Amino acid sequence: MTDRGGPRVRGRAPESSDHGEWQSRSLNQRVAAPGASRSTSRAQSHQPLRAQWDPITGDVTKPRTPRPERQVRKQSRVGRFVSTYGWRAYAIPILFVVTIFVVVDAVRGTGTGDPAASTDTPGFGTLSRDTDGSSVIGVPPEADGNFAADLPSGALPEGGPFTTAGARTWRVVPGSGPKVGQGTEREFTYSVEIEDGVDTSGFGGDESFGRMVDQTLSNPKSWTKDPRFAFRRVDQGDPDFRVSLTSQMTIREACGYDIQLEVSCYNPGIDRVLLNEPRWVRGAIAFQGDIGSYRQYQINHEVGHAIGYQDHQPCETEGGLAPVMMQQSFGTSNNDIAELDPEGIVPKNGLTCHFNPWPFPRG
C-alpha cells in the first residue's frame, strides 16, 4: 500500500530506498574526507544567524585567504601626546613661547641705574641746578620773531566755558601732605592756588583741582620716579613754587603772548607754575588723549620747568611716546613745532610721536 501522507500515530516510519541512498552517500562523504571536513569546519566562521545547509558537516566552501601582516609603526611619545590632547598640544608650546617673551621684556624693563636712561622711556634735556631767575620758562624763544600766524594743531578746541579775565590775585586751596619721593638731591615744597574770579564748579571745584595736582605729582610715573626729587604740599609760608590755575588774559600777561596761542608756563619771577584755564577746560587738538590725561600733562610739563628742565624737546622716535617736555599742546609732530618756531631746537625731520602725559610712562 502506498503512504499518502498524514500524521503518524506510532512506530517507525518505513525505510525507503531513497532514504537508504541518502544515508549511504552522506556516510561515504564523511569517511572519504574526514580531514577536509574538519579543516573546513574549523576555518568556517559560524555566524549566529547564518543557516547551514548541512548542520552536521558544515558548509563546504573555499577557505578564506589569510590577510597579510601589516607593518605597524610604533607611535612616538610626541604622537601619543598630540593624539591625546588634540589642539591643546599646539596651544601649549605657543603659550610657553609667548610667556618667555613677556618675561624677558619685563626683566629688560626693570634694570637699575638712572631712570631717565631706560630705552623704554623718552629722554630729557639738561637739568639746570638753578631754578631761580626772572625769565619766563615754557614758551618758545623769540628767535627771529617770525612765528607762524596760524597753527591749526595749536588752536584751542571747542568746548566748555572758561574765565576770560580774573582778578590777578590767587587764593590758596587748603591742604598739605607728607613728603612724596626720596629727594636725594632736592625736596620741593608747593602750594595749590586758583586765581580769584575763576569758577571751578564746572570741573569739580577748588578741592578737585588740588586733588588732581597732588595725585599727579605723587604718581609713580611722575617726577618722583627719579630718586633725586621729592615733593611736599603746604598751604602756608613761602613754597618753592605755586601751582596756579589762571585765567586767559592773566596768563597772557604772565607768560607772554608772542605767539597767538594759549600757553602755560613757569614764571620764576613770581614763583608760579601757571596753568592755562582755557586749556584745562578744553585741552588741545594736537593732544589726542582724554581731558584727564591732558591735565596730567599740563601739571607734569610745567612742574618739569620748575624743577630745572628748562628746555623743550623734540619727538625722538617715529611712533614712540612724546617726551613730557615736548610742547604737546601745539603738536606731537616735529614739523608742527618747527613751523611754530623755525629757529628753535626742534628739527623739521618729519618724526611724529604719540601723546604722553608722564615723565616716566613705564612707571
Digit-coded pLDDT (tens) for 173-228 = 999 999 999 999 999 999 999 999 999 999 999 999 999 999 999 999 999 999 99
Give me the pLDDT at residue 51, please.
Answer: 55
In angstroms, the CA 300 to CA 212 distance is 11
Percent of the chain with pLDDT over 70: 64
Model confidence at 359, pLDDT cuts 50, 70, 90, reads very high
pTM, to two decimals: 0.66
In angstroms, the CA 259 to CA 150 distance is 9
- Per-residue pLDDT, averaged over 71-90, amounts to 67
**CB-CB contact of 170 with 193 (8 Å):** yes
Average the pLDDT over each of 79-83, 151-155, 267-271 and give the range with the smallest value.
79-83
Cell of 89: 598640544
Amino acid identity of residue 64, one-letter, is R
Interacting residues of 231 by C-beta distance below 8 A, sequence separation 6+ = 179, 180, 181, 187, 188, 189, 190, 217, 218, 223, 224
Q: How many CA atoms lie within 13 A of 59 on its CB side?
A: 12
Give me the pLDDT at residue 9, please.
Answer: 45
